[in-house]
A and B are shown apart, each in its own frame.
Chain A
Amino acid sequence: MTIEITFNDRTYPVHEGESVLDGLERHGVAVPSSCRNGVCQSCLMRATSGEVPASAQSGLKPTQKERGYFLACQFKPTGNVTVALPDAADQRRFTARVVEKTRLNPTVSRIRLSKPQDFQFKAGQFMRVYRDGESRSYSIASMPQQDYLELHIKVFPGGHFSSWLCQTVQVGEELTIGEATGDCFYLADNLDQPLLMIATGTGLAPLWGVVRDALAQGHRGEIHIFHGSYVRDGLYYMDEFAALAAKFPNVRYYPCVSDDPTESQALRGQADVQALKHFPKLNGWRLYLCGNPDMVNTMKRKAFLAGASLKDILADPFIVTVPRQELPEAPAA
């Protein structure tokens, strides 16, 4: 029996007992690798169709396992599979119509899009929005059972996509979006696990999805949500989260303001610092960290040192890159 691996729309026959890594390399396909023994994770790939055995997923995060990630050096297919390198997986495009646009605060707008027919996602994942050959990632704040996709977009001064989305795009317009990706979603593997969610700015978007999804799936453990901003004006959805906390006794919501010493309704200080002050020991907790990359990376490390297992730290740094400046001496494109 021949076994076939499909990669980048091409099909490669492999031997029985041959790993995806060996098989693809034999056909001249370059796949990153190092230890070839399932430990370094250099050869991380994702199966978009076909069965992946647990032995090919040892050491991966639960959220990665659920999405079909595997180690190419450990996966010896016994049937046909379609595989992709981690980032090349999100290549499908969809069209979505803007159905609602609302200001949430002076810098953040909410945009709701009609959900395309076969668009699949888990609450908390993000997707790309495309325009003129460029794209940016935005997190989905709605839940899969809702018929719209909700985005929270913060306008950056001079930012190409954010100012276009917040200021120019009109209700009724059609946007091109990509597949949902990302590991920051709820896993119903332990309904009693305490969850600590920390967001800065629009990092709240994925958490608005994740927390409601967790509750919809019957999560019983404590859920603590810290939302931080420099000033109160940067916060939003305070009423929505307060209502959620009022309805579910296991949910607590902590708005935090770092740069306004006169603040009286929110905690004073940074969200991550406040969270650790409340919960200095994180053994057994699962964390969701979203927003400012400095906060996310610092908190990831602090949470790990405070006892959380790396597998239980799910992080979405909202990396914003300053577009490359055109140098005067650069040749015209």
Chain B
Amino acid sequence: MSQAVNAAPKSLYDRIGGDAAVNAAVDIFYRKVLADDRINRFFEGVDMDRQAAKQKAFLTMAFGGPHNYTGADMRRGHAHLVKNGLNDSHFDAVMENLAATLTELNVPAALIAEAAKIAESTRNDVLGR
């Protein structure tokens, strides 16, 4: 559907490597997040597999891949975290982990910057402002 006809220029998602790239990034990103004491309390879901699947949703979005999330969904999806103190410093930490993940996967700096820009654009929605 959304990825069916993608006339040039190719999307960031395709240039990064599509679904396979996201699958490769999920473990690395989620491991960084769980090991990051600034933010891991937000991710201590009982079910790690479900949590990892949500990280996949996040990465797909950041890579400009196909998704149906709206700004309102982002607000709703993170509202319980904002209530528990989610703020700019946590958002910055996630951005850092995202960049470090992509660096580890040898993604070129220019593409990392593009992904960062997409993630950054959701800041106000995620933080409920």
Q: Does A41 contact B (CB under 8 A)?
A: yes
In contact, B57 and A39 (Cβ under 8 angstroms):
yes
Q: Does B125 contact A (CB under 8 A)?
A: no
In contact, A35 and B68 (Cβ under 8 angstroms):
yes
Query: What does DSSP make chain B's interface, helix, strand, loop or mixed?
Result: helix
Q: Could you say which of B30, B35, B52, B68 contacts A36, with CB atoms under 8 Å apart?
A: B68
A320 shortest CB reach to chain B, Å: 16
- Give the residue name and chain of the A residue nearest to B32 (CB): A305
In contact, A39 and B60 (Cβ under 8 angstroms):
yes
Q: Does A59 contact B (CB under 8 A)?
A: yes
Q: Does A193 contact B (CB under 8 A)?
A: no
Decide yes or no: A310 and B30 within 8 Å by CB, A39-B57, A58-B23 being known contacts. yes
In contact, B35 and A305 (Cβ under 8 angstroms):
yes
In contact, B31 and A304 (Cβ under 8 angstroms):
yes
B67 partner residues in chain A, CB cutoff 8 A: 35, 37, 39
Q: Which residues of A come within 8 Å of B, CB atoms?
A: 34-41, 58-59, 61, 297, 300-301, 304-305, 309-310
What are the 4 A-B residue pairs with the smallest beta carbon separation, nearest first? A41-B53, A39-B57, A39-B56, A40-B57
| Beyond A39-B22, A40-B54, A58-B23, 15 additional pairs, beta carbon < 8 A | A37-B60, A37-B66, A37-B67, A37-B68, A38-B19, A39-B53, A39-B56, A40-B56, A59-B23, A59-B26, A61-B49, A301-B48, A304-B34, A310-B48, A310-B49
Q: Could you give 22 example pairs across A and B, Cβ below 8 Å? A: A35-B57, A35-B69, A36-B68, A37-B2, A37-B60, A37-B66, A37-B67, A37-B68, A40-B53, A40-B54, A41-B49, A58-B19, A59-B26, A59-B56, A297-B46, A300-B48, A301-B34, A304-B34, A305-B31, A309-B27, A310-B48, A310-B52
